[in-house]
Amino acid sequence: MRRILCILALVAWTINSTTIMAQEKIKQTAGRDQLGEFAPQFAALNDDVLFGEVWSRTDKLGLRDRSLVTITSLISQGITDSSLTYHLQTARQNGITRTEIAEIITHIGFYAGWPKAWAAFRLAKEVWAEDTAGDDARAAFQREMIFPIGEPNTAYARYFIGNSYLAPISREQVVVSNVTFEPGCRNNWHIHRAKNGGGQMLIGVAGRGWYQEEGKPAVEILPGTVIHIPANVKHWHGAAADSWFAHLAFEIPGEETANEWLEPVSDEAYNQLDK
């Protein structure tokens, strides 16, 4: 129990504290690679000052925002050569999604000119060619929380309606996993069986979800919400219909523990939750 309380204190601090951005050193060699012998001073300014100092001040302005400022500046000037392609690729790496870049360039088009937006879109389509709308939504949700979304929860997919993802957080002392649900996804009714002890505890991490015990009203789960699930109680949990959702799941130690999976949560019952 003491170990669980320590973990809870750490999780609560993580969720509620303000994130302090650490300065990240950006390494760039393009200047020296392409102009090192011809223009060594320019190469040094590009690699060591522009990227090594300005771009590296991530404690002042994050990489994602710096990418946004940079591509806006380049497109506004009508620069749609390899430098824009590079910065579009960097923007994608820094977390700007396909949906977001389409909206960004559309917005720029009204202020910088429609032909410039058209030219930028031709490059952006190539950079984000492999992304899908689903990837965009998942990437956007990942930015809302510090814990990873993880991999598709294929091992338990038959017990879920919709897609879920599982990321092991700890397998020592107390088993903790981050479980992520796409909008509308929920697990089947189930019971955590135990002779003594056992049960489960949930802590909302991001998004909005639901928890319900049999015979009781559903309870909304938001970031920081703590749900205590006694052993041998029938229940289910999952995302709201209009929101991605993630919670940490703590397995409470006990004797002769086992999960008993039961029937799915019907669409009729689930669709009544937000009414």
Please report which confidence band the pLDDT of residue 120 belongs to, taking 50, 70 and 90 as the band edges.
Answer: very high
Q: How far apart are CA 35 and CA 41, in angstroms?
A: 9
* Cα dihedral across residues 147, 150, 156, 162: positive or negative: positive
CA dihedral 24, 27, 31, 34 (to 10 degrees): -150
Query: Which among 206, 91, 185 is positioned nearest to 141, based on CA atoms?
Result: 206
3-state SS class at 95: coil
DSSP string over 11-78: HHHHHHSPPPPPP-PPP--HHHHHHTTT-HHHHHIIIIIIIIIIIT-TTTS-HHHHHHHHHHHHHHTT
Please report which confidence band the pLDDT of residue 16 belongs to, taking 50, 70 and 90 as the band edges.
Answer: very low
Predicted confidence (pLDDT) at residue 96 exceeds the cutoff of 60: yes
**What is the H or E stretch that residue 136 is in?**
helix 133-142
The pTM for the full model equals: 0.59
pLDDT of residue 20: 38
pLDDT of residue 85: 96
Over range 85-109, report the average pLDDT. 91
Phi, psi angle pair for 90, to nearest 5°: -65, -40
pLDDT of residue 6: 47
3-state SS class at 266: coil
Q: Where are the beta strands (DSSP E) in 106-198?
A: 151-152, 160-161, 164-170, 176-181, 186-187, 190-193, 196-197
Strand partners, 225: none
Element counts in the chain: helices (H) and strands (E):
9, 15
- Structure tokens belonging to residue 21: 């951005």
What tens digit of pLDDT does each residue of 78-91 get? 999 999 999 999 99
What tens digit of pLDDT does each residue of 130-179 get? 776 677 888 888 888 889 998 888 888 999 999 999 999 988 888 899 99
What tens digit of pLDDT does each residue of 228-262 get? 999 999 999 999 999 999 999 999 899 999 999 99
Please report which confidence band the pLDDT of residue 5 belongs to, taking 50, 70 and 90 as the band edges.
Answer: very low
Predicted confidence (pLDDT) at residue 17 exceeds the cutoff of 50: no
Q: Are 184 and 203 spatial neighbours (Cβ–Cβ below 8 Å)?
A: no
Predicted confidence (pLDDT) at residue 266 exceeds the cutoff of 60: yes
**What is the H or E stretch that residue 215 is in?**
none
pLDDT of residue 23: 58
Predicted confidence (pLDDT) at residue 195 exceeds the cutoff of 80: yes
Q: Are 111 and 76 spatial neighbours (Cβ–Cβ below 8 Å)?
A: yes
Residue indicated by tokens 């929920």: 186
